[in-house]
Structure 1
Amino acid sequence: MKIRNRLTLLFTFISVSILIFFSVIIYFTAKKNRSKEFYELLTKEAITKFNLFVDAKVPPQILQNIYYNNSQIIDEVEVAIYDENYTLVYHDAIDIDFVKETRSMLDEIKVKGELKFYQDQWQVIGLKHKFKNKTYIITAAAYDQFGYKELHLLLKNSIFLIVISIFFIYLTGYYFVKRIFQPITEMTDNINEISANRLDYRLKINKNKDELTKLAQTFNQMLDRLENSFDSQKKFVSNISHEIRTPLAAIITEIEIALQRENTTEDYQTTLHKAWMDANKIVKLSNNLLDFAKASYDPSQIAFKPVRIDEILLDSCEQVKRINNNYRINLSFENEFHEENEIHVNGNEYLLKVAFANLIENGCKFSQDHKTQVSILVVNSKIEIRFKDEGIGISRQELKKIFKPFYRGNNKEWAQGSGIGLSLADKIIKLHGGEIIVSSKINLGTTFIVILSHL
């Protein structure tokens, strides 16, 4: 069942339940008030007839004639009067005697002073009444035909109104629920128009600052992220294809040329050396891509533990030197640390080695002397690692783009690369809750500052 129908039925059920609840309260209140008012009427009739008979000395025959005549038209009150010896002194209709008073009933009336009860649907009241130092017992009984008729009419009208109300409440609920769900329906239709080829499509934002507007804004923000992710993925795949295709094409071309003619041993060696260099480019690119994928994982999926920054930097320096013996790296401490945990960070050893190695290699690669100065500085709860070179530098316009994957600026003619190293280092450092600050001047060098929190 649709939510719209469920809400309509729920609204109808709650509304009808409230209506029935108050109708029941009204009915039983009316029923109680009818009984109370009729007992009050019986009391007045009993006292009035007692005064007419005892005080005004109206003959019994006249009072009985009035009772018989009125009983033909309305439900007249039947009154009986007993003296203190329980002797019947007056009765409206002794031949009918609906109440049929007993000695025990009269005793109870005398003790309690008043007695009210139902006999069938007739209401009966018994009173102890004093007059001129004499005690009398009066009973009065009658059938409230008008009251019961009004009560029955109230019940009938209430049931009729409830039945009619169910129909109108359901229609009203359906109309308002439909109005409420109209924006959601439109939103659903708009979402159905979104596809991989139409990620630029956005939901319409209403001027009302309600929950649905917030939902639409959140959904549009998600689409922005998805669109950026898809665009990045397309560019990523395009760049990977280009980076891999170039060395592969070079290898194939070199092998084809070598196979088309007879070559000397030196020619073959030259061809193999070029193919080897191109194959190394592919391997390095593949390793960088794997490391880039690892750095993009959810932090909860990566193993972190306390590691020493100085040891990781030493391993990174050795790793870079193995790549190129001409690279020179100086590692130094700017200040002394008093406790061992000041040089420890909570991190992943492998990923930090990759980040540091990329930063060191970047400095060596773009310096004429192939030299990078690495220094460690402990400041309060932070560790600052500086990677400084005296290379060609980076322009101010390019500083904003150097951490984008596959981006290569004007320095691409200076040294070969894939454009992944710096973006990979930035991802890894951010994964560890740190940041990279870079400053550079053309032809004067570049400094990368990595800031991490120590234990």
Structure 2
Amino acid sequence: MKMMTKLATIRLRLTLWYTFFLALTVLGFSFYLHFELQDSLSIQIDEGLQVAASHLLVDVNDTVNPPALHPMSDQAEDYLVQSSFALRLVEADGTVAADVGGFPSLAFSPPAAASFETVVINNIPWRIYTQQIETQTTRFDVWLQMGQSLNIVQDTQSNLLRLILFGLPVTLIIATLGGIFTANRALHPVDTITRTVQSINATDMSKRILYHGPNDELGRLTETLNSMLDRIQSAFDAERRFTADASHELRTPLTAIKGQVDVTLTRKRTPDEYEKAFHHIQRETDRLIRLANDLLFLARLDSTPQRWKAEQVNLSDLLEAVVEQVRVVAEDKSIHLTADIPPHVFVQGIADHLIRLFLNLMDNAVKFTPIGGNISITVNQLPTEVQVRVKDNGPGIAPEHVPHLFERFYRVENDRTYKGGGAGLGLAIADQIARGHEGAISVDSIPTKGTSFIVRLPLSLTPEK
């Protein structure tokens, strides 16, 4: 098991693969060198035999028949012997006319032309070159045979084989050590990354991976992991804030309800006092129900956006219906509500979600527009999208708060939402719905002048039949 664990490490696998391919390369090169050396030596021996035969033919006395060798000096004969050369003159019937250097005894059969052959005599391989003796006018039935022992070739090949057998293990050992060193150097940052990531937990996500190397694969991996950790930390922080804010928002109406019940039960009350207490409890209960519904709706949006079953929606009819619903509330505050909605504007989406989106925006506009103010709903159809602008002339929003408006439970002190008694989820729900429809919401607000919310949705050009 320990061995399998060790083999599971990348550095060991890299080293083993490196050593394996190096061994294959060295073995392949060694075989190539062996056969190439063998061919080269064979060619050199054949060429040497031919050259020696050419020189010796000059020393053949062809004035007699059969021809004979001129007397050879002791020095020349010693050179032939030391070079493992041997020669003889042999007649057609196999009679040896001359012999120098201890030519091996072997049967002779006259060849049709000059030729080479390899023979083994007394377990010693010989390379034999045979050439007929002739002059410009006469061809004799005598052949010159030059031979050379191939022991030198075998000795050279044996020496090469010993070098390979000794050098290959040494080379592989050095290569393995070098591979381990290189793998350790290359994968050392991975150990740092692993230790850093293992030390990160839900209670402390501030640590990041420190990498000072080049922008290679490990550099890009480190950058990606750090970016992922940033996103995870942001998600954890948002989740903590969401949990804390949700707990606070749930606790507030529950505390109010319990406090009202406790006060009411301290002594006997008149029917009017009981009725007043029940109305207060009812308001807080309604607020609690709205908050629970909003939280449940947000949870569904978060968990199943990919399973939305979009359909073609007539946005013009949908907005007209929402405007008429809001108009009743606006008239109670003497707010002038206008709508410029062209007919036959279609989008892909879920009608109930889109109703909630625009109802939230228009309801906010009514809440925070002063009595006698103005609200306008404008639809602008572009080639690829439709823009719906909800504009009011309320108190506006300070610039530093605009980037956070769509965060859950975000409320500015004394702001529009807080005065309306909401929990800070309406805009978050609207933004989530817009993004679920591949759209977006932007805000244009000037303090004391008013606010515009612009919803952008992809346009569907062809209504369903």
Taking structure 2 as the reference length, what is the TM-score of the superposition? 0.84
Q: Note closer, same or farther for the CA distance 1:441–1:36 as it changes in structure 2 (3 Å cut).
A: closer
- Cα distance in structure 2, aligned partners of 1:143 and 1:454: 95
Structure 2 residue corresponding to 1:359, chosen from 358, 361, 373: 361
Change (3 A) 1:96 1:439: closer
Residue in 2 aligned with 1:134? Answer: 138
Q: Which moved more, 1:317-326 or 1:164-173?
A: 317-326
- Aligned 1:361-380 pairs, distance under 5 A: 361-369=363-371, 372-380=375-383
Map 1:57-206 → 2, pairs under 5 A: 75-82=84-91, 88=95, 90-92=97-99, 98-102=105-109, 106=110, 109-110=111-112, 113-120=113-120, 121-136=125-140, 137-206=143-212
2-structure distance, mates of 1:14, 1:438: 63
| CA RMSD after TM alignment | 3.2
1:421 alignment counterpart: 426
Would the alpha carbon gap of residues 99 and 304 (structure 1) be closer, same or farther in structure 2, given more than 3 Å must change?
farther
Deviation at 1:453, TM superposition (A): 2.3
- Specify the alignment match of 1:13 in structure 2: 20
2:310 matched residue in structure 1: 304
Amino acid at match of 2:316: D
CA distance in 1, matches of 2:17, 2:351: 59
Q: CA deviation at 1:280?
A: 1.1
1:345–1:329 distance in 2 versus 1, CA, 3 Å: farther
Identity, % of aligned positions? 24
Equivalent residue, structure 2, for 1:268 = 274
Check whether the contact 1:406–1:420 (CA below 8 A) recurs between aligned residues.
Answer: yes
Q: Check whether the contact 1:385–1:451 (CA below 8 A) recurs between aligned residues.
A: yes
Structure 2 equivalent of residue 44 of structure 1: 51
Q: Which residue of 2 aligns with 1:453?
A: 458
8 Å CA contact 2:330–2:337 kept in 1: the answer is no
Question: Structure 1 423/320 Cα, relative in aligned 2: closer, same or farther at 3 Å?
Answer: same
Separation in 1, partners of 2:327, 2:271: 31
Deviation at 1:344, TM superposition (A): 1.1
Alignment partners' CA distance in 2, 1:391 and 1:61: 132
Q: What is the aligned partner in structure 2 of residue 291 from structure 1? A: 297
Q: Distance in 1 between matches of 2:179 and 2:46?
A: 45
Structure 1 unmatched runs, 5+: none
Query: 1:305, CA displacement in angstroms?
Result: 2.5
1:237 partnered with 2:243: yes
Aligned partners of 1:163 and 1:135: how far apart in 2? 59
Q: Which residue of 2 aligns with 1:396?
A: 399
Do 1:45 and 1:77's aligned partners in 2 also have CA atoms closer than 8 Å? no
Stretches of structure 2 lacking an aligned partner (at least 5 in a row): 1-6, 461-465
Relative to structure 1, is the Cα distance of residues 97 and 391 closer, same or farther in structure 2, using a 3 angstrom cutoff?
closer
Mapped to 2, the partners of 1:320 and 1:294 lie a distance apart of 26
For residues 307 and 192 of structure 2, the distance between their equivalents in structure 1, rounded to whole angstroms, comes to 39
- Inter-partner Cα distance in structure 2 for 1:293 and 1:182: 43
Match of 2:32 among 25, 29, 36: 25
State which drifts further: 211-220 or 373-382: 373-382
Residues 64 and 92 of structure 1 are in contact (CA less than 8 Å); yes or no, is this contact kept in structure 2?
no
Deviation per residue, 1:135-173 (Å, 9 max, x gap): 354333331222321221111112211121111111111
Q: 1:60-118 deviations in whole A, cap 9, x for unaligned? A: 695699999889866332333446xx67462428997533122xxx2xx31xx332222
Range moving further from structure 2, 213-222 or 347-356: 347-356
- Aligned to 1:100, the other structure's residue is in SS state coil
Contact 1:292–1:424 (CA under 8 A) maintained in structure 2: yes
What CA distance in whole angstroms lies between the structure 2 residues aligned with 1:252 and 1:324?
Answer: 34
Contact 1:42–1:141 (CA under 8 A) maintained in structure 2: yes
How far did 1:290 drift?
2.3
SS in 1 for 2:134: strand
Q: 1:325: how far off?
A: 8.8
Query: In structure 1, the residue corresponding to 2:127 is in which secondary structure?
Result: strand
SS of 2:391's equivalent in the other structure is strand
Task: Report how far residue 176 of structure 1 moved.
Answer: 1.0
Q: Taking structure 1 as the reference length, what is the TM-score of the superposition?
A: 0.86
Given residue 117 of structure 2, which amino acid in structure 1 is its aligned partner? F
For residue 270 of structure 2, what is the amino acid of its counterpart? T
Give the direction of change, closer, same or farther, for the CA distance of 1:325–1:286 in structure 2 (3 Å limit): farther
Say whether the 8 Å CA contact 2:80–2:101 is kept in structure 1: no
Q: Does the C-alpha gap of structure 1 residues 55 and 197 become closer, same or farther in structure 2, counting only changes over 3 Å?
A: farther
What's 1:248 paired with?
Answer: 254
Residue 227 (1) aligns with residue 236 (2): no
Paired AA for residue 348 in structure 1: I
Deviation at 1:243, TM superposition (A): 0.4
* Residues 307-333 of structure 1: per-residue CA shift (max 9 Å, x gap): 121233245446657999947784633
Shift of 1:249: 1.1
Aligned equivalents of 1:232, 1:135: Cα separation in 2 = 110
Query: For residues 25 and 266 of structure 2, what CA distance do their matches in structure 1 show?
Result: 95
Change (3 A) 1:88 1:440: same
Structure 2 CA distance for aligned equivalents of residues 263 and 56 of structure 1: 160
Aligned residue-pair number:
441
Task: Give the letter for the 1:301 counterpart.
Answer: R
Which of 430, 437, 445 pairs up with 1:432? 437
Q: 2:452 and 2:311 mapped to 1: Cα distance?
A: 28
C-alpha deviation, 1:129, in angstroms: 4.8
The separation in 1 between residues aligned to 2:456 and 2:101, in whole angstroms, is 113
The verdict on how the C-alpha distance between 1:179 and 1:56 changes in structure 2, with shifts beyond 3 A counting, is: farther
CA contact (8 A) 1:376 1:383 kept: yes
Query: Residue by residue, what CA displacement relative to the aligned partner does 1:229-251 show, whole Å, maximum 9, x if unpaired?
Result: 11111111000000000001111
